Structures are given as C-alpha cells and as structure tokens.
Amino acid sequence: MDAKCQLLKVISFRCPRNSRFLLGIIRIDLATLDTTALISLCSSRDGSVFREACTDGADLLRTHPIYLLVLIFEDRFSRWAEWFTELWKRVAELETATGMTAEGWKLREISGECRARLQSTKSLLQALHGAHTELSHCETVLRYARRYESVAMQAVDQAEESRARLGAKGLKEGARIELKRRLKFAGSRCEAMGDRVDELKERLRGQINVVRMPL
C-alpha cells in the first residue's frame, strides 16, 4: 500500500432485500475527513426518505463521516421492519384461515383471497411455503445486518487509528462511544427481529405439517 492509499478510507456496500437494495461507496480523506459518497437506491421514495434522514442528521455527519453508515443502517432497518410486519401479518392471516392457532392470536378479519386458499390443500400449501421461503430470505438479510454492524464498528476504529498515525485530531472518547452505540442499537434491533423470524418460521412449519397430514 502506498502513502496515498494510506490517506484514504474507501467503504463499499450493498444492503440487500430482494430488489429493494441500497448500493454505495464512501471515500474519506483521513487527514481532513473530506468525504465523497455515492448512494444508489431502488426507488424515488426511498431516495427522498434517505435524503431527509441525511439532512436531519447533518450535525452527525459533520461530527464524523462514518455516521453515514449509521444513517444507512437505520434506514435499512426501517425498510426491513416494514417487510417483517408484512410477513407477520401474512402468517397470522394464514393461521387464522386454518384455525390452527390460539383464539387470542386470530385476526378479526382475513382477506377473501386467503379464505379461498382453504378450498384447496395445494393452494394453501403453496401460500405457506411461499411465506416460509420469504422468511428464509429475511433471515439471510438479518444475518447480513449483523455483519454490517461488525464491519462498521471496525471502520470506526480503523479510521480513528489511521487519523492518529497521521497526527490528525480524532473523535473525543464520548463522541466515539456514541457513534458506536448508535450502530450497536441498530444491530440489536435487527437481532431481536431475527428472533421473531425464527419464531414465524417454526409456526409455519407447524402449519405445513398439519396441512400435509392425511385426514
């Protein structure tokens, strides 16, 4: 690695979720913290929401450019939470349609489409397996989130250590702790969501096994 490279921190990433992903590359001059970031989102709505988050977090970004990784993580968690809510409702609807759940867990209303699936074991199994497959992908995405947290934590430490070697003024200890706390908090929420995904997958497996049982 030459001297010029040692002055730069380049971070690239792809935050997945089917087609609703976020691509980005961040280039940080470690001596000055001058930063160039290219971020690509899959829809204008996602782009507008993320721009607003960056505007609201302008003070954080002035504190340290790696706060951009925090804003990205928090934005993705919000998208993943919406997705998980949709999946939870789908599972609850299927359980209500089959009647194979506790009375207090049943939804008050289910769609006509879901009721129609009860007319055919094949269509009901297809719906159950479809939900199970998507939950498996959700599980993969949340495993990625835990890796994202770990890599972002390392990026904070590496950037600060490199700045210290350059003789540049680093973050105060309290500010560094707060930056990592924000990353850790987003990561812990993803971990909690992952536990719920495991629960939903187990519930679906129970539904699939019962539907397959001969009458």
Query: Which residues fall within 8 angstroms of residue 210, CB to CB, at 6 or more apart?
Result: 98, 100
Query: Which residues fall within 8 angstroms of residue 64, CB to CB, at 6 or more apart?
Result: 33, 156, 159, 171, 175, 179
The partner residues of 22 in beta bridges, in order of sequence, read 15, 41
pTM exceeds 0.75: yes
Neighbours of 19 (CB within 10 A): 7
The pLDDT tens digits for 37-57 are: 999 988 888 889 999 999 999
Give DSSP secondary structure letters for 86-114: HHHHHHHHHHHHHT-S-GGGS-S---HHH
Question: What are the phi and psi torsion angles at 161 (to 5°)?
Answer: -65, -40
Where helices occur in 120-172 by DSSP H, the ranges are: 121-166
Identity of the residue numbered 49: V
Quote the CA–CA distance of 28 and 163 in Å, as a whole number: 11
- Write out residues in the chain with pLDDT < 70, as ranges: 1-8, 17-19, 114-115, 117-119, 212-215
Q: How much is the pLDDT for 156?
A: 92
Q: Are strands 35-41 and 22-29 parallel, antiparallel or unpaired?
A: antiparallel
Q: Which of 149, 148, 136, 183 is nearest to 18 (CA)?
A: 136
Q: How much is the pLDDT for 2?
A: 33
Quote the CA–CA distance of 75 and 186 in Å, as a whole number: 10
